[in-house]
């Protein structure tokens, strides 16, 4: 089985690439969605996060409001580091369990984990290949404004807090340029899939 990490930056198109690869037969796990599930009431991660950050992050039903949590850690590196130290090991543990399941059911398959901060956390080392989705800074800003309802300033701030895509390129085995039309991206994805298939066989 081939273990593939798929990453990018803010609104750089990694989810589009991941879904296109899944449509071609790859197994896909979205780390962000996994992180959201681990924050649901009843999990060990939920308890540790609430203990660390207090009840102000909860809605009336006792669920963690991710936006409230994000605003607490956004400008405070030590609090962000604390949150990451709680959530990331649990996410990685679940990813590893998932990949073992794929290995058992599809030994020659391609298991793709889509994660925003794969390189920043050092997690990229756990994969056989890294795929990076890229586009221009301006496209990231415009897409993030459209997708997330951000102001231009909010998008700029988020972008400024991420490792630049130019820096991430150094860690990537494959680059998918999502700056053109969707069909142009899909042509690259199909070519990538053929290369990954050869590596997995």
Q: Strand, helix or coil at 64?
A: strand
DSSP letters spanning 2-28: EEEEEE-STTSSHHHHHHHHHHTT-EE
What is the rounded distance in angstroms from the CA atom of residue 39 to the CA atom of residue 32? 11
What is the rounded distance in angstroms from the CA atom of residue 88 to the CA atom of residue 92? 6
Q: Going from the N-terminus, what domains does the chain have, and what CATH number goes with each?
A: 1-26+109-201 (3.40.50.300), 31-107 (3.40.50.300)
- Whether the CB-CB separation of 140 and 14 falls below 8 Å is answered with no
pLDDT of the residue at 22 = 98
CA 165-148-186 angle, to 5 degrees, is: 55
pTM: 0.92
Return the bridge partners of 27, or none: 111
- H/E stretch holding 185 reads helix 182-200
What is the rounded distance in angstroms from the CA atom of residue 58 to the CA atom of residue 20? 35
- What string of pLDDT tens digits covers the 201 residues of the chain? 999 999 999 999 999 999 999 999 999 999 999 999 999 999 999 999 999 999 999 999 999 998 899 888 877 889 989 999 999 999 999 999 999 999 999 999 999 999 988 998 899 999 999 999 999 999 999 999 999 898 999 899 888 888 999 999 999 999 999 999 999 999 999 999 999 999 998
The 10s digit of each residue's pLDDT in 20-39 is 999 999 999 999 999 999 99
HEC-encoded secondary structure of 104-156: HHCCCCEEEEECCCCCCCCHHHHCCEEEEEECCHHHHHHHHHHHHCCCHHHHH
What is the rounded distance in angstroms from the CA atom of residue 130 to the CA atom of residue 147? 25
């Amino acid at each position: 089985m081939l273990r593939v990490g798929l990453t990018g930056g803010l609104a750089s198109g990694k989810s589009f690439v991941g879904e296109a690869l899944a449509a071609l037969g790859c197994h896909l796990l979205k780390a962000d969605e996994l992180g959201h599930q681990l924050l649901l009431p009843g999990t060990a991660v939920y308890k540790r996060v609430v203990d660390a950050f207090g009840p102000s992050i909860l809605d009336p039903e006792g669920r963690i409001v991710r936006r409230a949590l994000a605003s607490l850690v956004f400008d405070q590196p030590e609090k962000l580091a604390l949150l990451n130290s709680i959530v990331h090991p649990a996410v990685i543990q679940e990813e590893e369990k998932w990949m073992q399941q794929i290995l058992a059911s599809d030994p020659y398959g391609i298991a793709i984990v889509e994660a925003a901060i794969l390189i920043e956390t050092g997690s990229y080392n756990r994969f056989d290949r890294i795929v990076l989705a890229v586009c221009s800074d301006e496209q990231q800003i415009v897409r993030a404004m459209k997708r997330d309802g951000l102001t231009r300033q909010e998008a700029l701030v988020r972008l400024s807090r991420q490792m630049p895509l130019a820096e991430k390129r150094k860690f990537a085995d494959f680059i998918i340029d999502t700056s053109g039309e969707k069909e142009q991206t899909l042509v690259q994805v199909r070519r990538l899939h053929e290369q990954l298939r050869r590596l997995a066989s």
